[in-house]
Every structure is written in structure tokens, then in C-alpha cells.
Amino acid sequence: MLATAWLKLSEMLSGPFLLSVPPYQRPYSWGEQQVEQLLDDLTEAARLGSSKVVDDSYFLGTILLMDQPGNQTVRITPKMAPREFDIIDGQQRLVTMMTIFCVFRDLDAAQKSAIGKRVQAMVLAQHGKPFFRSERFRMHLSSRESAVFEKFVLAPGGTMRKPESPFLSPSEQALLAMRDRVVLELQKLTSRERGQLFQFIADKCSAVVIVSHDIDRAHRMFVVLNERGKQLQRDDILKADVLSRVPQSDVNWIAETWDKTGAELGKDFEVFFSHVRKIYGYDNRQVVSGVRAVIADAGGAEPFISNVFVPLAKTYQLIRSVDATELPGDIRRRLIYLNRLADGDWAPAAMLALKDWQSDPDRARMLISEIDRMAHIMRLLCAGTGKRVRRFSDIVDAIRSGVAIDENHPVFQVTREETRSIVFHLKDLHKRGPKICKLLLMRLGDSLGGRSYDIDPELYTIEHILPQRPSATSEWRRWFPTAEERSQCIESLGNLVLITQEQNDKARNASFEVKKAIYAEVTGSVPLLPITADVLAAMRWTREEIDGREIRLLNMIANMLRIDVPMPKLEPPASSGSGDVAAAPLTGPAIEQSKARAASRR
């Protein structure tokens, strides 16, 4: 029988546990996105910056360990004798969590807080016989990353040091990138907030720990944990719960309604219940328990189905459908923009705003407009999932309060600090957030063209008109003679257009005239977007054109988001010696004329 125990993270990284990653394990491979998601989840569960009750626990999943030869653990307890364990399943999580603790220690080293002492007790373990004990690092990685992990994570102050050698293996680079992301995210918190988060992670985060002493059994367990069959879904659990609470006469119609709704929502059905929980203020609970609370508040299973489940499911289907022709055009247009955003943090607020839209279409129109605005503001702030969820939770609470709400309500206001942050990110948005940069360019193009293009953003890539690496003999070097001037212009919004990958491959470092001809090459399925057609009439592409276009686009963003965006100062135009004058921005019918001219040049 396998030894099993439910342990807090602080218990797992203390006392008797000496952990090693065996050589046959894969190297560390978590990316920055996975680490950021974990930190967002932990921050959300700890309720930092919120008055809501802290979650009782956070489940880290199952950790599978194996005894060293000669040992056979029959009972797992923090008080058992120290012993070595190989990590069979859970390496990525344990290495990441140990790194998070070490960052806590180093960030607050100057304060000499209790955190540092507690973390060192996790990092260093006693081993050996009584009277002959010595210290060792509690966690050993395989030889691939061991030295980097010990020097730049485990050692006191290690997370604040940079490696001297540029020659790092991919796994070492991944480990350090994860560490640097943790440092960046935890630096955003105050010392007090870090203390609260540390306490939560150490004492509220738990895992199921399983110990095997047989490698074959451990491998079979690993396969079961990672390649098991179809899991019981939340909607299955909730369906059974609802049907068990209704009279037999109502079972058939409720089951049919449930199954029909599930088929209509498809893969979104699971997510739907998460949104329902948030709409009714139970986002501090797990999904199943949260929906059960909504059912109780609704008065039971039958009124829940009639008054909550069905109307919200229809609204959610309306929101997710691109063919929702019954909605007013301006609402439909904003839903197109919202649905392009990864994750549906905005969806509960939108569902609540549109639930009864026909009874007050003006209110619904205003709310969807503000939800769309705030969703894009949060993306331009480069806010993580946790921060976005908290912002929209406040919006949901405001809509549900019953108090009159309009665009001047506090939940729709942007602080000066947030505005400064947006302006900072807009300077090189392509580098900071390439996905939102592409979506913003598409939306700006819609404004330039005077119509919305309901087209897949994946069909387009971002192209730098002034190339990132122009050849030494090109006209680009005459127009932008210094590296400093080029670097100031390359990532400017004014220097970006959207074209297909095939066009991008052709354009690369070509001259401006050749690039314009390539931009004008379009097919029926992938149209020329106004954000690209906007530059086709320009006779040259110098600092003057880039700055002028950037100012124009920033003005559009300022109006779109209702924020104050300070305009960059225009540089005096450099003399090209050609006497050319930059053409006015291309709009309206002139687009078709420019396409024809570009075609004739080819």
C-alpha cells in the first residue's frame, strides 16, 4: 500500500524531507506565462488588496515521491526521521515554489524579518546521525541545473544576483527566467503584502503527497496521474446535484434543458458556471460550491434553472456568437473586440449587462461600451489575470448593486498612475504585449476605415515599416543615419502595420517603395486593412512621417479610452535632399486609388 498524506507546503519543505530530482527526469521547463499564472492564482486566493475572505486553502495537486533503495516509508508525517526522496511527479511545481520562497527571503533581507529565518529552514536541512549532523540544501536538482539553482536561487541573496557567464543551457535559462519573473511580480507588492502572501503560501497551500518504494509502481502511478481518462466535469457534478433536488415530475425537462444548453455552449459550458459564480458574488469559492450557493439563493433547483441558468446561458451564447444579429450594431461591434481578448475575465460583467438588455437598451449599450473600454485598458496596463478578475469583480458588484450607474461611476475611472503606465507601455507596445498590440492596430484600422472588420487576427502579423535591421547601403540608413534615431522610431506605433506572414517574409528589409507594393498585394480572403492602407500614399518614410502618424494614432487611442495621453514632441524634419514632401494620411476612397497606383508600379 502506498503511503499518502495531505501536507502543507511548509511541512513538505521542512523536517524530514530531503528532495532530489533524479537524472532521468526532464529538465526544468516552465515558462514565464505558467509562473505568472501561478502567482496570479496565489495572489487571488490570498485576497491581496481585497476585503473578501481569504481562501481556506489552495490545492497544489499531487506530488509523487519515491524512497531511496533500502527505505520503505509506511506513514508520512512531518515528525518522521529525515530521509531522501526522489521527485517523480511535481518537480516543476516544487522548484518554482522553492524559488518563490527564496525571492521572498531576499526581497525582505534588509528588514531582517521572520520570513528570512523561516525560508532558510526550508532551504537548508539537517542530515546525518545525531552528534554528526551537517547541513545540506533540502532540494537537489540534476547536474544540468544544480549549480545555477544553488548559486542563484538557494544561496542567501542568490535571487538578486546575475550569472557572469552568458553560456547557459536551455534549462538553466528557463530556471533563471522563471526566477526573474517571480522577482518582478513580487517587487510590485509592498513589504506588508509580501508578508501576507508568504504566510498564505506557506500555511494554506497544500498537496497530496504519495510515496512509493518501487520504481515500476511509481511509473504506473505517474501515468495514472498524467494520462488518466476523461475526468468528471463540473457540469456533471452540478447536474447530478440539481436533479437530486427536484421532484421526479421535473427531472426530464430539467435534464433536457441542461443537456441542450450544454450542447449549444460546447466547450464554453464549463466556463459558464465559473461566470455564474462570479456574477452572484461567490468568486471566493470553488466553482461547484459557489454555484451551489447561487442555487440556494435562487430558492432551489427549479427557480435556479428558470430564473438564472436559462437566461444567463442564452445571454452568454449571445455574447460568444459573432452572428448575434438581434443585438444592436454598436453592441455587436464591441463584443467582437472583447471576444478577441484571451481569457473571459470581462464576460461575467457583460452577461449581467446584457441579461435584460431589451428592457433598457440604452443602459446595456453604455455598460458594454464601458466594459469594452476597461477590458482594453487592463490589457494596455499589462495587468495579470488576478488583477483583471478583481477589477471586473468590482464592476459586477456595481451593476448588481441596483444603484444608478453610468460612465462616471468610480469603477470605470482610470487613475493618473494607470494612465502613466498605459502611456509608458504604448511607447513600445509591440515588445511589451505583441497580442494586444495587434488587436489595437486592428481596432485603430477600423476607426480609420469607418467600419468594423470581423476577421481573424491570426491572419495578420505586425510589420515594422522602418526595418529592425536595415542594410548599410539602404535608403533607410540615409533617412535614419544613427542607431539612436532608428531605435526611437522602430517600435513606435506610427511605424507599425498589419500584413500577412507571406507579405512579411517578402518585405523584411526592402525599400519603402517595394514594401508599399507588397502591402498592396491582397487576396479576397485576407483584405488590405485600413491601418496598412493608411501609409500607401506616403512618398517617403522618415522620422517626420512616423512621429506624425504616431501622434494621430495616440489621439485616436486617447479618445477611444477617454484618457489623457501626452503627445510626443515632433522632431524637426531632416533634410533628405530630394525635396519630397510627406503625403497626407490616406483615408476613405483614396485607399482604392492608392492600391491601383501600387498595382501599376508592379
Question: pLDDT per residue over 448-488, tens digit each?
Answer: 998 888 889 999 999 999 998 899 899 999 999 999 999 98
Q: Give the SS3 label for residue 309.
A: helix
Q: What are the backbone angles phi and psi of residue 82, rounded to the nearest 5°? A: -60, 140
Q: Which residues of the chain have pLDDT under 50?
A: 228-232, 573-602
CA 322 to each of CA 114, 245, 325, 357, 362: distance values in angstroms, whole numbers, following the listed order: 54, 36, 8, 17, 21
* pLDDT for position 596: 45
124-127 and 134-137 strand pairing: antiparallel
Distance from C-alpha of 596 to C-alpha of 564, rounded to nearest angstrom: 38
* pLDDT for position 216: 61
Kindly report the number of other CB atoms within 10 A of residue 3's CB atom. 18
Beta strand extents in 473-590 (DSSP E only) = 496-499
83-89 and 58-67 strand pairing: antiparallel
Residue 89 grid cell = 511527479
Q: Say if CB 303 and CB 246 are below 8 A apart.
A: no
Distance from C-alpha of 500 to C-alpha of 290, rounded to nearest angstrom: 44
Distance from C-alpha of 46 to C-alpha of 363, rounded to nearest angstrom: 35
Q: What are the backbone angles phi and psi of residue 50, rounded to the nearest 5°? A: -130, 150
Q: Say if CB 98 and CB 117 are below 8 A apart.
A: no
CA 113 to each of CA 49, 123, 154, 182: distance values in angstroms, whole numbers, following the listed order: 21, 16, 18, 19
DSSP readout, 451-482? S-----GGG-EEEESS-SS--TTSHHHHHS-S
Kindly report the number of other CB atoms within 10 A of residue 485's CB atom. 16
Max Cα–Cα distance, the chain, nearest Å: 90
Q: Helix %, strand %, coil % for the chain, to 5? A: 55, 10, 35
Q: Say if CB 126 and CB 95 are below 8 A apart.
A: no
* pLDDT for position 133: 60
